[in-house]
Amino acid sequence: MSHLNTLKGYLPWIQTPLIINAPMSGIAKSKLATAVTTAGGLGQIGFMDDLQDLTKELEITKKALADIKTETLPIGLGVIVFGTPIKAWLDLFAKYKPAVAWLSFASASELQEWSEGIRLVSPQTRIWIQLGSVSASVEVARACQPDALVLQGIDAGGHGHEDGASIVSLIPEVADTLSELGFDIPLIAAGGIVDGRGCAAALSLGASGVVMGTRMLAAEETAIPAIYRDAIFEAVDGGQVTARSRVFDEVWGPNFWPKTYDGRCLKNQVYQKYKSGVDIQSIRSWLSQAMNGSASESLSIQDMGSIWAGTGVGMVKEQRKAADIVEEVRGSTRKNLERAMTSL
Ligand SMILES: Cc1cc2nc3c(=O)[nH]c(=O)nc-3n(C[C@H](O)[C@H](O)[C@H](O)COP(=O)(O)O)c2cc1C
């Protein structure tokens, strides 16, 4: 069976090419997930610390998507695995049975524990694991038998592998390596895809679907303040105005993220100071003074909070409905693939 048929087997409402919203913690909630799934994509709800709030979001989603007749809740549910106690989450998986459990940011053994736990309480839920290297893909393929691997290239906004590659080399190398080892796992592309050109490229690389985080920051259903969205729309030249660094977490206090991970954010004064060698304690006290209004510099929105965004940010220019984004990317992917064929 082709990978696409496998995916359609358990995501029967999807249209192709498969477009997925990233499960962005705290901002991809029921509204976004519902809109994306209704538009024929895979809508996802991102990780939330407060499980009562998450339960409310799942209830709203369940009602909103009741017309889609599947044995699962037709969305993905994201879990940031490291440091998260598993028990209460398994109760949620057992109760809501999301079509996909999207697991990220953890060791292979932690991911194995979660995969096995979820499969036990909700056998219908498929396990997708996001990672960013060939070695992690092999380790996780062996430990977890994932239903799909989401390969996150270094262009991606938000957290990801500190050492990495773009999807241009990551996807084919993972595909070759897994195939040599006898694995047959659908691959999903993440990182830098904001339109049909990126989606067409990802499909050519061997992906069975694409994830968009940064582009979905423009969706009106994504729960971010207007000022955050405006900073995204104003950003140009994505590789210059964003950077990967651990300082975007470190500045807020002890950084609990495992050493493997940093994150891509809009560059800000914190980052500039860090790059020029200012120590983290001094940056923290400067920031708290500046936030109290007692430092000389004034702060922009990207100084006052970490604005996670990928290198594709320069092409994200206007607020749209999530469904329009999904449909536009789907249609434009076809056109771009046809155009590419004419150059052969
Ligand atoms: C604002 C933001 C928040 C994110 N939060 C999460 C998260 O909670 N869990 C996760 O697995 N990935 C998260 N990501 C990463 C995405 O899953 C995905 O890899 C990334 O958005 C793809 O790259 P793109 O931003 O260029 O589309 C986040 C990305 C962004 C931009």
- CATH code, domain carrying 87: 3.20.20.70
Residue keyed to tokens 């067409």:
200
Tell whether 271 and 185 lie within a shared domain: no
**Atom number of ligand 1 nearest to Cα 104:** 11
Q: Is the CB of 155 under 6 A from ligand 1?
A: yes
Percent of the chain with pLDDT over 90: 97
Predicted pLDDT of residue 200: 98
Q: Is the CB of 310 under 6 A from ligand 1?
A: yes
Predicted pLDDT of residue 298: 83
Q: Whose CA is nearest to atom 28 of ligand 1?
A: 158
Q: With H, G, I as helix, E, B as strand and everything else as coil, classify residue 262.
A: strand
CA of 159 to the centre of ligand 1 (A): 7
**Atom number of ligand 1 nearest to Cα 309:** 31
Predicted pLDDT of residue 292: 87
Residue 293: which pLDDT band, with cuts at 50, 70 and 90? confident
The conformation of residue 93, written as its DSSP 8-state character, comes to H
Report the length, in residues, of the chain: 344
Predicted pLDDT of residue 5: 95
The overall average pLDDT reported for the chain is 97
Query: Total domain count for the chain?
Result: 2
Q: Are 117 and 103 in contact (CB under 8 A)?
A: no
**Atom number of ligand 1 nearest to Cα 192:** 26
Predicted pLDDT of residue 294: 79
Q: What residues make up the domain containing 21?
A: 3-225+318-342
Residue 8: which pLDDT band, with cuts at 50, 70 and 90? very high
Tell whether 108 and 246 lie within a shared domain: no
Q: Is the CB of 24 under 6 A from ligand 1?
A: yes
Tell whether 219 and 248 lie within a shared domain: no
Alpha-carbon distances of 150 from 19, 60, 140, rounded to whole Å = 13, 27, 11
Residue 235: Cβ-neighbour burial (10 angstroms; 0-12, 13-18, 19+): buried
Q: Are 79 and 107 in contact (CB under 8 A)?
A: no
Which tokens belong to 301?
A: 């929105």
Residues 92, 30: Cα–Cα separation, whole Å = 15
Residue 135: Cβ-neighbour burial (10 angstroms; 0-12, 13-18, 19+): exposed
Residues 295, 273: Cα–Cα separation, whole Å = 14
Q: Whose CA is nearest to atom 30 of ligand 1?
A: 158
Model pLDDT for residues 145-180, shown as the tens digit of each residue: 999 999 999 999 999 999 999 999 999 999 999 999
